[in-house]
């Protein structure tokens, strides 16, 4: 599974995206994109980024072409909205199939309590129309809404956004999350020891396991003591 994360916009005077109160959409989109990347990589998913810094000024055409050439399974474009300082909520845009967008926006809104603006079809956006794989564009709230901006800048709130996005990807692509259980090594040491059995000194194996000494039941058997297993039960008797 491979995901291409496109942190919206870039560090360019005409392409910061939305701005408000000193914050740039390009900076905030990159911040949360890196957090999504980490979460996906922790699940064993391969992640490619359109940019890792604010100084990468790759164009939209270059981003979509790169994703197509890589043959990724998902193109995830990350943005924040802006309108009139009052509008609020989260929405996810898609080109043709609303399934992933719907799952993603519902997840994020359920986790954060944000207004659900729904999944919306947009066939005029380059990154949705020029890509040859599943592609969605997430709008993670309104940067010019003071409350939503404060929410977004809160690490715990942003972690819920990330969880909602990643969980949707896992479900939609039916990713098998295998949790490996560490193999426990048992500290076992086998030496020999001597025991006295019916007045006879006998050398037997001494098994040290997890700090406890053991000897085999059959090593207790001699001409007077018999040991056997009958119907799954140990039987000891003398003759």
180 inside domain: no
Q: What is the pLDDT of residue 179?
A: 53
Helix-helix angle 146-153:155-172, to 10 degrees: 80
Do residue 55 and residue 167 come from a single domain? yes
* Boundary of a domain, candidates 122, 143, 172: 172
Residue 210 domain boundaries: 188-238
Q: Tokens at residue 205, please?
A: 């194996």
Q: Does residue 109 sit in helix, strand or coil?
A: helix
183 inside domain: no
Q: Give the residue among 80, 89, 77 at the shortest CA–CA distance from 19.
A: 80
Do residue 11 and residue 121 come from a single domain? yes
Do residue 154 and residue 90 come from a single domain? yes
- Distances from the Cα of 109 to the Cα of 79, 106, 113, angstroms: 16, 5, 5
182 inside domain: no
Do residue 49 and residue 162 come from a single domain? yes
Do residue 7 and residue 101 come from a single domain? yes
Q: What is the pLDDT of residue 234?
A: 54
> Structurally, how many domains does the chain consist of?
2
User: pLDDT in tens for each of the 239 residues of the chain?
Assistant: 999 999 988 665 545 567 778 899 999 999 999 999 999 999 999 999 999 988 887 889 999 999 999 999 999 999 999 999 999 999 999 999 999 999 999 999 999 999 999 999 999 999 999 999 999 999 999 999 999 999 999 999 999 999 999 999 999 999 988 655 555 555 677 787 777 666 667 777 778 777 777 777 666 666 566 656 565 555 656 66
Do residue 102 and residue 209 come from a single domain? no
201 inside domain: yes
Write the CATH number for 44.
3.40.630.40
For residue 112, report the phi and psi dihedrals to the nearest 5 degrees.
-100, -20
Do residue 9 and residue 60 come from a single domain? yes
User: Is residue 95 classed exposed, middle or buried when 0-12, 13-18 and 19+ CB atoms within 10 A define those classes?
Assistant: buried
Do residue 154 and residue 194 come from a single domain? no
This prediction has a pTM of: 0.74
Do residue 42 and residue 154 come from a single domain? yes
Do residue 103 and residue 163 come from a single domain? yes
């Amino acid at each position: 599974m491979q995901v291409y994360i496109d942190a919206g916009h870039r560090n360019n005077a005409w392409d910061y995206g939305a701005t408000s109160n000193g914050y740039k959409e390009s900076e905030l989109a990159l911040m949360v994109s890196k957090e999504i990347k980490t979460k996906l990589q922790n699940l064993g998913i391969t992640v490619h980024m359109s940019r890792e810094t604010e100084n990468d000024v790759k164009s939209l055409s270059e981003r979509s072409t790169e994703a197509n050439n890589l043959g990724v399974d998902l193109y995830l474009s990350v943005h924040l909205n802006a309108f009139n300082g009052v509008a609020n909520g989260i929405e996810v845009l898609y080109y043709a199939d609303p399934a992933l967008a719907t799952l993603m926006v519902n997840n994020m809104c359920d986790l954060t309590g944000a207004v659900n603006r729904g999944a919306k079809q947009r066939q005029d956006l380059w990154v949705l129309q020029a890509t040859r794989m599943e592609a969605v564009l997430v709008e993670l709230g309104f940067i010019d809404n003071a409350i939503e901006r404060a929410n977004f800048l809160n690490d715990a709130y942003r972690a819920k956004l990330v969880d909602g996005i990643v969980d949707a990807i896992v479900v939609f692509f039916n990713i098998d999350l295998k949790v490996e259980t560490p193999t426990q090594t048992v500290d076992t040491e086998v030496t020999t020891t001597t025991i006295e059995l019916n007045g006879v000194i006998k050398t037997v194996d001494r098994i040290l396991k997890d700090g406890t000494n053991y000897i085999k039941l059959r090593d207790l058997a001699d001409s007077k003591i018999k040991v056997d297993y009958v119907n799954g039960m140990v039987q000891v008797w003398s003759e």
